């Protein structure tokens, strides 16, 4: 069982940066591949980024590649999403999730989810 709690969301202007954090419970955190998804109002939840258990490999959606960076600290049971050059279309609720499948962007392959944190990009 893994419990996930996101934090770090907020209201920022276009072009700004924001760093999301996800704190995980459990002693087996490093055995899970972690991902970030986002859901805009009226839209389905979509893959943003993923990182393997060791942190050695990362994966990104095309829409965020080059602007967002996923990382993890297994000693702190945490995963992060650094978001730079934010755009209004990045506005969404951001969720972190844990999976046994490395690098997957498929929502159904994630077993545990956090409650989400709101990110709003607006001038």
Instruction: Spell out the per-residue pLDDT of the chain, length 123, in tens.
Output: 899 999 999 999 999 999 999 999 977 899 999 999 999 999 999 999 999 999 999 999 999 999 999 999 999 999 999 999 999 999 999 999 999 999 899 999 999 999 999 999 999
7-12 — which CB contacts under 8 Å span 24+ positions?
7/117, 8/117, 9/93, 9/94, 9/117, 9/118, 9/119, 9/120, 10/118, 10/119, 10/120, 11/120, 11/122, 12/86, 12/119, 12/120, 12/121
User: What dihedral do alpha carbons 117, 33, 110, 6 form, nearest 10°?
Assistant: -10
pLDDT for position 49: 98
Model pLDDT, residue 26: 79
């Amino acid at each position: 069982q893994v419990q996930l709690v996101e934090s770090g969301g907020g209201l920022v202007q276009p072009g700004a940066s924001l760093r999301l954090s996800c704190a995980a419970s459990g002693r087996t955190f490093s055995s899970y591949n972690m991902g970030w998804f986002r859901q805009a109002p009226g839209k389905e939840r979509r893959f943003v980024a993923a990182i393997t258990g060791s942190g050695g490999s990362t994966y990104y959606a095309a829409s965020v590649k080059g602007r967002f960076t996923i990382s993890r600290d297994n000693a702190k049971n945490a995963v992060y999403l650094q978001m730079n050059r934010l755009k209004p279309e990045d506005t969404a609720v951001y969720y972190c999730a844990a999976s046994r499948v490395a690098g997957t962007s498929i929502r159904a392959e994630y077993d545990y989810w956090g409650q989400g944190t709101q990110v709003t990009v607006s001038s």
